[in-house]
Structure 1
């Protein structure tokens, strides 16, 4: 038995030493670090390289590794893995991320340093047969680390402050040029190459988030764009294509970049210009899915499922990812095709009728205003020709003015006319530019139920444009939309949740929606036995869960059982959104609590099935969740083993104490 135990120790010790030598070599190959926290990364790298001779000598030695040394070297092995991971972050990570997270990264350095000091102190150098020079070098590293543990790097305090001042600005706010200049200088983001490398680093963070970026990544991208725009104003030639590509060998120049499969339209197999989501959750290029639908098909080309609606929702996240990928690969991003449809025009008789109605809108008689708004409401409902004609005749500003009228029917007709006009793409900008949103929000707050519901539908129609999401959210639309979702009819609730979903695609609106009380209402709809708005509810919960406040609110509303039930029996699209929501919950502050409950409710088997048969995104989310659960189970097993060891040690201590009773003649103090 003793020989067997010794043999096991040799094998385990040898394997451990070989692995540590390999990791040490990998650490040595990480030689360049982003400028943020650079000194900390360089110091750690240098000290790790000083330990390499110890691993080399242990690897070359033919003596078995003593068991006492194996235990302490195992601790050092774990610390080496942590050091490699941290150094890779310093080598490949986003400069902006490294500065914004400098406090957390400094804490990581402190924790790692303490772990390294403890492991090096416990290594029995005297029994490892190391040369004197190597043993002295290990002692030197331990002493350096011990001193470093007491120091905190404060070199980036001013840089962190400058970065935060721009990071916290809204997307359309102007940053101080002096601050942008300092940021570009100190973070070395002055050339197109620097900016592209940083953009690529942020892109990798988006990919790691499974195409579902949280608020911080979006705000970092916005911050980088501000720096890039500033640098291009300072150096207009910076973005001009250079001859860099011509420096490549001919055979390399001839190779076009390979588009990621997720960026290709499933119909055309080409890079998507205008990605849109259909009712099944699949994404297609707008041009090709519109042709498919125009040909009379009512199914999803990829899944063959019948489409519950033919609504096409822009996939803004994917569009952004494609643009970032194109920028990183030095190619022009695909341009969205211009509308080929000719501008509609009214007949002369129709035009005269519209002009007469517009004149009545300007009348001081409330009866004229009411009847004219009602007639325009009906005309705008009929065709794009009418919608274009009414807008060209100048009706939109006059209808906006009527939103504040005290006459209920006139207000209902005015807001509904604006809804019907906004359906036509070219009219959306006209409605927004006349300052209609405050009036629509007023109707949403104080109008009749019919007027409120049509106001919500108008905001839904307008909010499909990215820039309008920001404006509508900033003008107070979210709280009254949440109120309508709570109080409205079935139609009103649906318009409200669709408008809220569109608005919350913009990260800055998510916190406003959560603080307005949206999450408890959504969770209530989730458990509604009629499940009339399950698709919209789950899609909205999924995007809110990427926001810290949204995640906390979903957890507080105890949505876990309902989300698991959806994964058990929901549609593929709903399973996907439920899994996406759970993935965010399981990465939160109280993840162990949620993981334990999810495991007890049999989530593992459901996820295994989903990983095999779900949508593409659903499969990825299922695998991600299974990894969370696997990690949780491993931690539980290790904790249980630790408790058993402690219990055994206590039992042995009690047994030893009872076998040596205190002598009656002993001095008990």
Structure 2
């Protein structure tokens, strides 16, 4: 919520992930993600069967009113109402400009006018039609990218520019200017000094431009950027920022050099903290395991994982406990360190964490063929090492051994 003389930061978790507006009637899907009732109903009525934020296939399209969040939003709205300006000031509040007014505002952007950017944000946020109109306008993107190239600009001004770019991500065909060193420096500045909302928007910008190996390396090798993204994974951070940062890191972590840099930046301990938290959301758990799976594909990552018996036991705990996606990522990690590279210390840690029971249950479940095969591989390893492993296994269920 913005006014020329009053700035009110809307908590990110009050916004609907679809409309980006404050939720009027928050409801939660079976994935745990909350949306405004009108937005998610429109999504489902259009024939979609996935969660828009996570793209996870919905086991049920039923949703449950999130009463606690609704009360928090109401309390916040009441507190904001008590700080509203008087009638004279209200007359100066920002209204959505017309298309002709936006054309005039774009011409003023060279003057670094914060008021013009604020009004353009209102225009862009209003509708898809407005975003398409602005994307087609000649002369709009140049000054916007010029702002991004100038990291010494006022942080509030840069935040408005980042917000515009984030809202128009799907409308901008050429995002290469954002890979320029100066633009990456500006994004780093927002991650270091910006509000939680603008940090989330900056991370989404990074993910949107990580489209090939070259762009992933440019982002990862920008001084200070990778450590700042890892810092965003801290469990004390906004959950929306954590989730956005995980998605971005997953997007840029395919090149081996990036994996090595991430491991050196102490990413694995941060992932361990997230997975150990009792109230971590399903989506964050899934993405943490996905990133951990990617890091386990290189030697440095595997070594750090199999040397941490507590982390291995935490991974085992997530099998069959969170979602099918989380189970697949967890089993792949365990298969990599225990079966593919046969680390005995890791095998002992998995067994002590009741891993054999989990794998036996997986063999009897409706898991994917890949997960079933990996579970069978792991059980073979444990059978070979039966003298050390089976002593801690509940023999009441040995009749379902698959071989």
TM range (shorter): 0.5 to 0.7
- Secondary structure in 2 aligned to 1:423? helix
Which of 207, 230, 242 is the aligned partner of 1:482? 230
Conserved 8 A contact 1:358-1:393? no
Conserved 8 A contact 1:422-1:431? no
Which of 89, 105, 130 is the aligned partner of 1:386? 130
* CA offset digits 1:136-186 (Å, max 9, x no partner): xxxxxxxxxxxxxxxxxxxxxxxxxxxxxxxxxxxxxxxxxxxxxxxxxxx
* CA offset digits 1:279-308 (Å, max 9, x no partner): 99xxxxxxxxxxx97842425999772489
State how many pairs are aligned.
305
For structure 1, the 5+ residue unaligned runs are 1-278, 281-291, 310-348, 638-669
Matching residue of 2:154: 407
Matching residue of 1:545: 296
For structure 2, the 5+ residue unaligned runs are 1-29, 32-42, 64-96, 391-403
* CA offset digits 1:638-663 (Å, max 9, x no partner): xxxxxxxxxxxxxxxxxxxxxxxxxx
TM-score if structure 1 supplies the norm length? 0.41
Task: Report whether the alignment pairs 1:445 with 2:195.
Answer: no
Conserved 8 A contact 1:568-1:606? yes
Residue 589 of structure 1 and its aligned partner are, at CA, apart by 6.8
RMSD of the TM alignment (CA)? Answer: 3.5
Alpha-carbon distance in structure 2 between the residues aligned to 1:440 and 1:308: 39
Conserved 8 A contact 1:357-1:372? yes
Matching residue of 1:623: 376
Which of 252, 262, 267 is the aligned partner of 1:513? 262
Residue 482 of structure 1 and its aligned partner are, at CA, apart by 0.8
Matching residue of 1:463: 210
Alpha-carbon distance in structure 2 between the residues aligned to 1:296 and 1:570: 26
TM alignment of 1:168-179, pairs within 5 A: none
CA, structure 1 residues 454+353, in 2 after alignment: closer, same or farther (shift >3 Å)? same
Conserved 8 A contact 1:397-1:434? no
Alpha-carbon distance in structure 2 between the residues aligned to 1:573 and 1:308: 20
Conserved 8 A contact 1:453-1:492? yes
Residue 607 of structure 1 and its aligned partner are, at CA, apart by 0.5
- Which gives a bigger RCO, structure 1 or 2 (Cα 8 Å, sep 6+)? 2
Matching residue of 1:305: 59
CA, structure 1 residues 294+631, in 2 after alignment: closer, same or farther (shift >3 Å)? farther
Which of 354, 357, 363 is the aligned partner of 1:611? 363
Residue 521 of structure 1 and its aligned partner are, at CA, apart by 0.7
Task: Report whether the alignment pairs 1:416 with 2:163.
Answer: yes
Task: Report whether the alignment pairs 1:371 with 2:120.
Answer: no
Alpha-carbon distance in structure 2 between the residues aligned to 1:380 and 1:587: 52
* CA offset digits 1:418-441 (Å, max 9, x no partner): 211223362534644796333212
CA, structure 1 residues 438+449, in 2 after alignment: closer, same or farther (shift >3 Å)? same
* CA offset digits 1:459-517 (Å, max 9, x no partner): 13333566532332233432111112225322222211111121113443211211111
Conserved 8 A contact 2:307-2:346? no
TM alignment of 1:323-334, pairs within 5 A: none
Residue 635 of structure 1 and its aligned partner are, at CA, apart by 9.1
Alpha-carbon distance in structure 1 between the residues aligned to 2:377 and 2:271: 24
Moved more, 544-553 or 462-471: 462-471
Q: In terms of Rg, which structure is larger?
A: 1
Matching residue of 2:324: 572
- Secondary structure in 1 aligned to 2:108? helix
Conserved 8 A contact 2:163-2:201? yes
CA, structure 1 residues 438+506, in 2 after alignment: closer, same or farther (shift >3 Å)? same
Which of 272, 278, 281 is the aligned partner of 1:529? 278
Residue 395 of structure 1 and its aligned partner are, at CA, apart by 3.0
* CA offset digits 1:25-44 (Å, max 9, x no partner): xxxxxxxxxxxxxxxxxxxx
Alpha-carbon distance in structure 2 between the residues aligned to 1:615 and 1:425: 38
CA, structure 1 residues 543+580, in 2 after alignment: closer, same or farther (shift >3 Å)? same
TM alignment of 1:55-70, pairs within 5 A: none
Task: Report whether the alignment pairs 1:498 with 2:247.
Answer: yes
TM-score if structure 2 supplies the norm length? 0.65
Matching residue of 1:356: 104
